[in-house]
A and B are shown apart, each in its own frame.
Chain A
Amino acid sequence: MAEKEVLLKVEDLYKHFPIRKGLFSGSREKVHAVDGISFEIYQGETLGLVGESGCGKSTTGRTILQLYRPTSGSVFFEGEDLAKLKGEALRKKRRYVQMIFQDPYASLNPRMTVGQIIGEPMEIHNTYKGAEQLRRVEELLELVGLNPAFINRYPHEFSGGQRQRIGVARALALQPKLIVCDEPISALDVSIQAQVVNLLEDLQEELGLTYLFIAHDLSMVRHISDRVAVMYLGIIVELADRNELYATPIHPYTKALLSAVPFPDPFIEENRKRIILEGDVPSPVNPPSGCRFRTRCQYAKEICAEEKPEFREVLPGHYAACHFSDELK
């Protein structure tokens, strides 16, 4: 891995949202959505980011794109810190980092035609105009498997899967290098999910794209990713090569998460032992002291409440944040 080129480097990223309770309440409470995470994405790879709702995975994606400005920390893209850029300079850079959104019903403007939706980024960044833009839009439609003749139709004339293809075409309009895919398939039916995932894989191969693939479906993340990061309550608890993470997870949360995923196979399910986690995820407003996971962890000891476990390389390329990672590996 060492010789691979780093495309995006996230360093000590924090994003807190203040809670406003009333005009004069003076409340200082905040949601610790992302609470100090660091990772790298290599050129041409797919990094999967998994976790349950509210763990901060989508906030991470949005903060990378500077759709939310980070509370602190850096996001280096091709060596430049996006968090420090503003206005025109940021816009120029952001052209190369695009996003595919979760809900294809909400993320396309219903009053714009497909041609306008896909052409808009080119308009803003002044890349293609007029007839050239039209040709480019048609090219993109073809690339994502839609009929170029649909260019003057409106989003409501398309099914969910087709809409997501429009979203993909829009993300590709400016020839980006990195695409943040924020749960791009969770709103789609099973048979359509496979269509969109296959499309994303084909595009990656054809255009040399790099993906940050955010999802809660662990089997799909395993399928599409090269490396996978697991988030819990605002922090990354484990990060490793795909096969290694799924075969030999170190962090107790990853272990429980993987054991909770049902297998589409009654012969395996029959004899499967599950680690059932007790209770719910604690509130991100007052996360537990020390290790975030200790309140639900079967291995938790005193030290877990006192000290925050360091996110460290336990095995080559395999990172985990747990006091007992050496025993659990």
Chain B
Amino acid sequence: MSDLLQVKDLETQFRTREGNVHAVNGVSFNLKEGETLGIVGESGCGKTVSMMSLLGLIPVPPGKVVAGEARFEGKDLLKLSNEELRHIRGAKISVVFQDPMTSFNPVLTIGKQTAEPYQIHHNAGKAEAYERAVKYLELVGIPNAKERMNDYPHQFSGGMRQRVMIAMGLICEPQILIADEPTTALDVTIQAQIIELMKKLRDELGMAIIWITHDLGIIAGLAHRVNVMYGGYIVETAPVKSLYKEPQHPYTLGLLGSLPRMDEMSYRRLVSIDGLPPTLLEKPTYCPFEPRCKYAVEKCRYSNPQLSQVEGEDHYVACWVNPKTGKEY
């Protein structure tokens, strides 16, 4: 399959009182048609910022995309004017945000908000957009969609609101749907509903999904490929099975080890990653994970490793040390 989106050397910084925060430090990846890409990392690792940078959704100032390229349909998203971006956002690339409680306008009806993107991007009349909104609300499983078009967001539960948000994201049939922790605010039974729904819609509509999350559990059953981010870098990227079976980066190993598993029959002490994530006030000239890494060697303290291929596989890791042998590659 061909590449739908190619991101190269993306860098985003934020100006703060303490200094420039280097939130994203050179992120490169490709997204294929129909692929689901998982982006995993903890708070502040740059996973959301990198995606929002692509769509011009970073508040400027204090934020600024300082370098990089993002090719989509022959154009560089980062060089487009606001007007040009507006034709892509919501139409060809749309976003489902994390918090279904605060991402709606409380004084507009659900119907109006769901129909709006279609009305704007397709120059459609009210009646046509209304029809289509009903269709998409039905598609995401809102019972009595037609009657509920006139309800307001507060009349919906959290799970239902997230469904509406997905309907809004899908109404223009985008090629890429960016889902920014869409289930984090939801309970696990509702989360399971939403994930099943997204899988079904993905197979029916064939769009590519970028799923941002901190939960390695969700990603395991959903993504084709996973990028693990730390300190504004992608530190490991691989097809999902390869990543879980043979994690290479000490951070990925640590994350997987820190999760308790429900199928473990005997007690195992959790692996904790000591220390704290970096503050990113300066662009690291060394490996950003070095201060917390138990495999670190001398070289890690002065040189930042680039992503490089693990022999013979579609698996890339940014680390000087092979955690299996504890020796440098």
Between-chain CB contacts (< 8 Å), 14 pairs: A189-B43, A190-B216, A192-B276, A194-B270, A194-B272, A195-B273, A198-B270, A218-B188, A219-B261, A261-B217, A262-B217, A265-B261, A266-B220, A266-B240
The reply to whether B260 and A191 form a contact with Cβ atoms under 8 Å apart is: no
Q: A192-B276, A264-B217, A268-B263 are in contact. List 4 more A-B contacts (CB 8 A).
A: A191-B255, A201-B269, A262-B215, A262-B218
Chain A 255-271 interface mask (CB, 8 Å, partner B; 1/0):
01111111111111110
Does A277 sit at the interface, judged by CB under 8 A? yes
Q: Chain B: residues with CB nearer than 8 A to chain A?
A: 42-43, 157, 159-160, 187-193, 195-196, 214-218, 220-222, 240-241, 244-245, 254-263, 265, 269-274, 276-277
Which residues of A (265-310) have their CB < 8 Å from a CB of B? Answer: 265-270, 272, 274, 276-277, 280-281
Task: Decide if the interface of chain A is mainly helix, strand, loop or mixed.
Answer: helix
Taking a contact as CB atoms under 8 Å apart, the answer to whether A191 and B258 are in contact is yes
| A263 & B217 in contact (Cβ 8 Å cutoff) | yes
Question: 10 closest A-B pairs (Cβ-Cβ)?
Answer: A269-B221, A223-B260, A262-B217, A194-B258, A260-B192, A52-B187, A191-B273, A194-B272, A194-B270, A189-B42
A-B pair count, CB < 8 Å, reads: 123
What residue in chain A is nearest B197 (Cβ atoms)?
A: A276
A37 within 8 Å of B (CB atoms): no
Let me know if A52 and B261 touch, CB within 8 A.
Answer: no
Of chain B, the residue at the smallest CB distance from A260 is B192
B262 touches A246 (CB 8 A): yes
Which B residues lie within 8 Å of A192 (CB)? 272-273, 276
A194 in complex: contacting residue of B193, B240, B271, CB < 8 Å: B271
Q: Which residues on the A side are within 8 Å of B273 (C-beta)?
A: 191-192, 194-195
Once the chains are docked, how many angstroms separate the CA of A281 from the CA of B160? Answer: 12
Q: With both chains docked as a complex, state the minimum distance between the C-beta of A53 and any C-beta of chain B, in angstroms.
A: 6
Whether B240 contacts A190 by the Cβ 8 Å rule is no
A276-B192, A277-B193 given; A265·B244 CB < 8 A: yes
**CB neighbours of A270 from chain B (8 A):** 221
CB–CB B188/A266 < 8 A: no
Given contacts A189-B42, A263-B262, A272-B221, is CB(A257)–CB(B255) below 8 Å?
Answer: no
Instruction: Known A189-B43, A263-B221, A264-B220; judge A222-B260 contact (CB<8 A).
Output: yes
The answer, among A191, A257, A267, for a CB contact under 8 Å with B189, is: A257
B189 touches A52 (CB 8 A): yes
Taking CB atoms, residues of chain A closer than 8 Å to B257 are: 194
A11 to B272, CA, bound (A): 38
Across the interface, A219 reaches (CB within 8 A) one of B255, B260, B274, B276, namely B260
Whether the Cβ atoms of B259 and A266 lie closer than 8 Å is: no
Kindly state whether residue A193 has any CB partner on chain B within 8 Å.
yes
B262 near A276: Cβ-Cβ < 8 Å: no
B270 contacts across to A, CB distance below 8 A:
194, 197-198, 223
Which of A190, A263, A268 interacts with B214 by CB under 8 Å?
Answer: A190
Q: Which residue of B lies closest to A278 (CB)?
A: B193
Whether, in the assembled complex, A159 has its beta carbon less than 8 Å from a beta carbon of chain B, the answer is: yes
A residues within 8 Å of B by Cβ?
Answer: 52-53, 159, 161, 189-195, 197-198, 201, 216, 218-220, 222-223, 243, 246, 256-270, 272, 274, 276-277, 280-281
Contacts of B218 in A (CB 8 A): 262
Beta-carbon contact of B189 and A277 below 8 Å: yes
What distance in Å separates the Cβ of B162 from its nearest Cβ neighbour in chain A? Answer: 12
CA distance A318 to B312 in the complex (A): 51
Contact B244 A266 (CB under 8 A): yes
Asked whether, in the complex, the Cβ of B244 is within 8 Å of the Cβ of A260, the reply is no
Does B42 lie within 8 Å of A260, measured CB to CB?
Answer: no
Q: Which residues of B contact A256 (CB under 8 A)?
A: 189
Taken together as a complex, chains A and B put the C-alpha atoms of A194 and B244 apart, in Å, by: 19
- Please indicate the chain B residues that have their CB under 8 angstroms from the CB of A194 in the complex: 257-258, 270-273
Question: In the bound complex, what is the Cα–Cα distance between A272 and B196 (angstroms)?
Answer: 12
Q: Which of A191, A219, A266 meets B272, CB within 8 Å?
A: A191
- Find the residue from A216, A246, A262, A265 having the highest chain B CB count within 10 A: A262
Residues of A within 8 A of B254 (CB): 191
Q: Look across to chain A and name the residue whose beta carbon is closest to the beta carbon of B195.
A: A262
Are A262 and B187 in contact, with the CB atoms below 8 A? Answer: no
**A52-B187, A262-B218 given as contacts; is B42 within 8 A of A190 (CB)?**
yes
A52–B265 Cα distance when bound, in Å, is 25
Chain B residues near A264 (CB-CB < 8 A): 216-217, 220, 244, 256, 259, 261
- Given A190-B42, A266-B241, A280-B160, A216–B187 Cβ distance below 8 Å? yes
